[in-house]
Amino acid sequence: MAWSIRPDGLDIRVRVTPRGGRDAIDGVEALSDGKAVLKVRVRAAPEDGAANEAVRRLLAKALKRPASAVSLETGATARLKTFLVSGEGDRLAAALAALTGRNTP
C-alpha cells in the first residue's frame, strides 16, 4: 500500500508530477520495483520548494487536516517523497482509501 499507519499518524509515499496542470490526487500506482505510491500532480514548479508546499497543502485539504499537520519526511528534491500526516492513523488511512478507491492497509 502507498501508506502506512504510525502511532503518531500516517506515512504516505508519493510520486509527484510538478507543473501537472492542476492540483489533484490521481490514485495509486505500482512502481517498477513493485512498491505502491500515491500519484499526485501539482501546478507549482519544482523551484524553491514550491511543489513540495503544494503537495503538502493538497494532502492536508484532501484529508481534512490543517496544513501544519502534514510534513515532508524524505525526498525534498526527488520525485518520490514521503509525507507524514499527523493525527489518528486509522481514520486517515480510511479517508485516503476512500479517496483512492483502495482498501485500507
pLDDT one-digit tens code per residue, 5-47:
999 999 999 999 999 999 999 999 999 999 999 999 999 999 9
CB 41 within 8 A of CB 62: no
Q: For the CA atoms of 48, 54, 60, 61, what is the dihedral angle to 10 degrees?
A: 160
List the one residue out of 68, 5, 77, 79 whose CA is nearest residue 37: 79
Q: Between residues 103 and 94, which one has the greater pLDDT?
A: 94
Mean pLDDT, residues 41-65: 96
* Structural domains of the chain in order of their starting residue, each with its CATH number: 3-100 (3.30.1200.10)
**pLDDT for the residue 53:** 97
CA distance 1 to 52: 21
Percent of the chain with pLDDT over 90: 93
**105: pLDDT strictly greater than 80:** no
Amino acid at 55: V
**62: pLDDT strictly greater than 80:** yes
Mean pLDDT, residues 67-75: 97
CA distance 101 to 44: 26
Residue 104 banded pLDDT, cuts 50, 70, 90: very low
